[in-house]
Structure 1
Amino acid sequence: MTSRRFPRSVYGVGDEPDPRFSLANERTFLAWIRTSLGLLAVGVAIEALKLDIDPVLRFIAALIFVVLAVIAGVHAWFSWARHEKAMRLNRALSGPSMGVVLVLGVVLATLLLVVGMLL
Structure 2
Amino acid sequence: MPDVRDAPSGDDPDGAEPLPGAVDARFTLASERTMLAWLRTALGLIAAGVAVMHLFEPFGNAAARTTLGICLLAVGAFTAIVGAVRWHEINRALQKGGPLPGPWPIWTLTALIVVVGIAFAFWQ
TM-score by length of 2: 0.75
Which aligned pairs between 1:57-76 and structure 2 lie closer than 5 A?
A: 57-76=64-83
SS in 2 for 1:45: helix
31 and 66 in structure 1: CA distance in 2 versus 1, 3 angstrom threshold:
same
* Equivalenced residues, count: 104
The match for 1:31 among 37, 45, 53 is 37
Bigger Cα Rg:
2
Percent identical: 28
- Name the residue aligned to 1:114: 121
Corresponding position of 2:51: 45
1:104 to 100, 104, 111: 111
* 8 Å contact from structure 2 (residues 59, 65) kept in 1: no
Quick one: higher RCO (CA 8 Å, sep 6+), 1 or 2?
1
Task: Tell me if structure 2 keeps the 8 A contact 1:65–1:105.
Answer: no
More helix by share: 1
Structure 1 Cα separation of the partners of residues 101 and 69 of structure 2: 31
Residues 57 and 45 (structure 1), Cα distance of their counterparts in 2 relative to 1, 3 Å cut: same
Report the alpha carbon displacement of residue 96 of structure 1 after superposing the two structures with TM. 1.6
On the 8 A contact 1:26/1:80 being kept in 2, the answer is yes
1:100 CA displacement: 2.4
**What is aligned with 2:102?**
95
RMSD (Å), alpha carbons: 1.6
User: How far apart are 1:27 and its partner, in Å?
Assistant: 0.5
